[in-house]
Each structure stands twice: as structure tokens, then as C-alpha cells.
Amino acid sequence: MPVTVADVETALAQEVEQLPGKYADRDTLLYAVAIGMGRDPMDAKELEYVCETVGNRVVPTAATVLSRPVRAASGGGFSLMSKMNFAMMLHGEQRLAIHQPLPPAADTLITNRTTGVYDKGEGKGALVTSETEVKLADGSPLYTVGSTLFFRADGGFGGSSEGAPVPHALPDRAPDAVCEMPGRVDQAMVYALCGDRNPLHRDPEFAKRAGFDRPILHGLCSYGIACHAVLKTMLDYDQTKMTGFDVRFSSPVFPGETQVVEMWQDGNVISFRVKIKERDVVSINNGKCTIK
């Protein structure tokens, strides 16, 4: 059965359950390696992210892989996602608000909620926004992760299109800085070990059935690579300065491609976008990094 206005109202009105979470330094170290840190074993700045005897820094966008509860919700509630067509789903946007620097390991409290459903019209799809709040075990806020999923086949159910997220506008001038981030052909294999085992990113036959000649890189891996570039180029690897990191995904990336990150700074906002050097396409657009 297709999604209805009543389904949307039920999903938005649902009470959320706070679940226990947990992550170890293995998770934060692996994430840093998966997004390209540590290639130069003598780079003291990057070693602080990948070698615990040198430093204990954590890449802020690791939040995207550290937000899984250790047990499932008690169940019994309505699931809007069960009504959506996942075969026609695209990851549209990713948002992150950082309330305090991420520790290398932590016990956490996790709350997930659907925050909006926007009907773009028949044949135009629907947007579903969600939010995950993560606190430390003592109740202090750690970070909030938000995402927008674009369901291409689920528009026209009669819902409103008002209130959907508005993309951040990039400055109309040449970039203040540019950083090339070379990829690795096995990067999706490593990133999958962070928790996203979607075969689209590793299985060639599955990728072909999804319409791609070969597996594509995880969008959230590219998200992390962009964060790596901003940390390296604009913040001298000081992750404690970063308070937010938002993007809009605009084109797939293939493992091994070079991601060219263009950056502009205006006060406490670093705007950015990512282009693929080999194909001259924009893969991440409307990027916004907020700093202290």
C-alpha cells in the first residue's frame, strides 16, 4: 500500500524511545583510516587521529557510524519506512551538529525520530527528514545527526511540500582554498567495515542491477573525505573548532576517483563543494561547515 497523509501524521506523532549505545576506539580509529587518514605514517597531524599512542582526536563526521544502538527498539510502533519504496530511494542530504568533541570511546544514549515528510508531487517524489540525538551516558549532549532521504516513487500522496530543508548557498567568487583528496580503489571495502554493508558499494552484480557499471562509493564516505579536507586545509586538523557539517549529495562517486574540495570562509562559516577531477562533475554541493 502506498504511503498516505494519515501514515505521515502517525509517524510524526510517535513517541521516541531512548536506547543505549556504545562505541570503542577501534570504531573511531577505523573510521579515520577509511576516509583516508594515515596514508603518510610520518604525518604527525593525522597520526593523532589514527594512532592512540600519539593522540586521541576523533573526526567529527565519525558520528555517522557511531549512532547505532546496542539493542533494537522494543517494537510495536508504526514504521513509515515500511510503506516507502526503497528501491527508488536516494540519500539527499546529511547534517551534523556537534555539541562537544567526540571522545575516542563512549557509552551513549540514542534517540531517533522522523522530523518531516514533504510531498513534491506525483512523479516528483517525497522527502523524509530524520534526526538522531546522541548523548553521553551522563545525559550531556554529544551530537545530533540529521538526514534527508529522497523517495523518487512516493510523491503525490496529498501531503504538504512546505518546510523542506533549504540548501546552503555558496559564495559567488573563486574558492579561497582547494584541496585534492585522492581516492583508493579499495576504499569502499574498508569503509564497509565501519558498518554500512550495502552490497551496492562492493558487489559488481548488485551495482549493475541498480543501474551502475560498477560499485559506487558510500555517500557518507565522501562526506567524511570532505570533512578530512576541511580539517586539513582550514582548521590545521583541530577538530574541536568544528560545530557543524552539512552537505547535499548531487552525484555518485566511484572508488579511486580524486575528490577536489573547494572551500570559502566567511566568518565562522566555511562553505564548500566537491568535484570529481576525472569526470568534472559536482558530487557534493551546498556544503556548510560551522566553526567556533
Given a cut of 80, whether residue 46 has pLDDT beyond it is yes
pLDDT of residue 7: 77
Higher-pLDDT residue of 254, 77: 254
Output the CA torsion sign for 244, 133, 101, 274.
negative
Given a cut of 60, whether residue 76 has pLDDT beyond it is no
The segment with the largest mean pLDDT, out of 75-84, 198-207, 272-281, is 272-281
Task: Enumerate the active-site residues.
Answer: 196, 201
**What confidence tier does 162 reach under pLDDT thresholds 50, 70, 90?**
confident
pLDDT of residue 227: 98
Higher-pLDDT residue of 85, 276: 276
151 in Cβ contact with 28 (< 8 Å): no
Mean pLDDT across 227-235: 98
Residues 6 or more apart whose Cβ sits within 8 Å of residue 161? 118, 119, 120, 121
- Which residues are 59's β-sheet partners? none
d(CA 199, CA 204): 8
Higher-pLDDT residue of 158, 130: 130
DSSP 42-110: T-HHHHHHH-TTT-----GGGGGGS--BSS-----S--GGGGS-GGGEEEEEEEEEESSPPPSSEEEEE
Given a cut of 60, whether residue 218 has pLDDT beyond it is yes
Among the listed residues 115, 137, 146, the one whose alpha carbon sits nearest the alpha carbon of residue 69: 137
Same fold, 1-165 and 166-292: yes
Residues 6 or more apart whose Cβ sits within 8 Å of residue 125? 88, 150, 151, 152, 153, 154, 155
Q: Which three cell numbers stand for residue 97?
A: 551538529
Q: Which three cell numbers stand for residue 168?
A: 546552503
Mean pLDDT across 185-191: 98
Q: What is the CATH number of domain 166-292?
A: 3.10.129.10
195 in Cβ contact with 68 (< 8 Å): yes
Mean pLDDT across 263-286: 98
pLDDT of residue 125: 87
pLDDT of residue 75: 62
74 in Cβ contact with 103 (< 8 Å): no
Given a cut of 60, whether residue 256 has pLDDT beyond it is yes
d(CA 91, CA 18): 25
Please name the residue that has the C-alpha cell 583541530.
238
Q: Which three cell numbers stand for residue 219?
A: 555517500
Given a cut of 90, whether residue 269 has pLDDT beyond it is yes
Number of C-beta neighbours around residue 40 at 10 A: 10
Higher-pLDDT residue of 14, 271: 271
23 in Cβ contact with 66 (< 8 Å): yes
Burial degree of 231 (CB within 10 A; 0-12, 13-18, 19+): buried
Higher-pLDDT residue of 286, 125: 286
Q: Which CATH architecture has domain 1-165?
A: Roll (3.10)
d(CA 42, CA 38): 8
| Average pLDDT of the residues of the chain | 93
Query: Where are the chain's structural domains?
Result: 1-165, 166-292
Number of C-beta neighbours around residue 19 at 10 A: 17
pLDDT of residue 1: 62
Q: 127-154: per-residue pLDDT in tens?
A: 999 999 999 999 999 999 999 988 878 8
Percent of the chain at pLDDT exceeding 90: 76
pLDDT of residue 83: 77
Higher-pLDDT residue of 156, 265: 265
d(CA 106, CA 11): 30
Q: How far apart are the first and last CA of the chain?
A: 47
Given a cut of 90, whether residue 248 has pLDDT beyond it is yes
Please name the residue that has the C-alpha cell 517524489.
125
Percent of the chain at pLDDT exceeding 70: 97
